Amino acid sequence: MVQHISSEQARARWRDILDATAAGEQIVIERYGRPVAILIPYQSEPTAQVREPGPIYDLPTYERMKSEVVAEVLAELEAANLEPISWQEGLADLQRSIAESGSPFTGKSTDEIVEMMRETRREVFEEMYGHLYR
């Protein structure tokens, strides 16, 4: 059985919650109506799973499909009759394409790009969650 409780209730009834979890219950702790954590009973067996099992892939079928896709791509490349270039030429072409695209990252160092991304993350966080801290 899954029980949903608020973070305030979790603080007030922590001992009861641990007892219920030890008895086999799963408890979802919510903050402002949104799930933020789940308590599940501890299992000492190595087969204990926290997540639901994902799909199981048939390896021979996967390998066959992968080899078919690779063969198709190679055939398309051969049909295009492209001239081989070095990786340096490929990199230079890619850098030219990026510069011509008008990307906001053009001409920026790695540190500048990381700082831009951090600032964007701060802005998005403030927009989405700022009202919770005012």
Retrieve residue 43's tokens: 């299992």
Same domain, residue pair 63 and 124: yes
DSSP 3-28: EEEEHHHHHHTHHHHHHHHHTT-EEE
Owning domain of residue 94:
59-133
- Is 16 part of any domain? yes
How many domains does one find in the chain? 2
pTM above 0.75, yes or no: no
Q: Does residue 53 carry a pLDDT above 80? A: no
What rounded mean pLDDT belongs to the chain?
Answer: 86
Mean pLDDT value across residues 33-62: 75
Domain CATH number, residue 28: 3.40.1620.10
Which residue type occupies 17?
I
Q: Is 90 in the same domain as 31?
A: no
Average of per-residue pLDDT across 59-78: 87
Here the tokens at position 115 are 């700082």
| pLDDT confidence of residue 98 | 81
Cβ–Cβ < 8 Å for 3, 28: yes
pLDDT of residue 56: 65
Q: Are 39 and 29 in contact (CB under 8 A)?
A: yes
pLDDT higher than 60, residue 48: no
Copy the structure tokens of residue 82: 């492209």
25: in domain:
yes
Q: Please calculate the CA angle 105-109-113 and round it to the nearest 5 degrees.
A: 50
pLDDT in tens, 86-134: 999 989 998 888 888 888 887 888 899 999 999 999 999 999 988 887 7
Residue 54 domain-assigned (yes or no): no
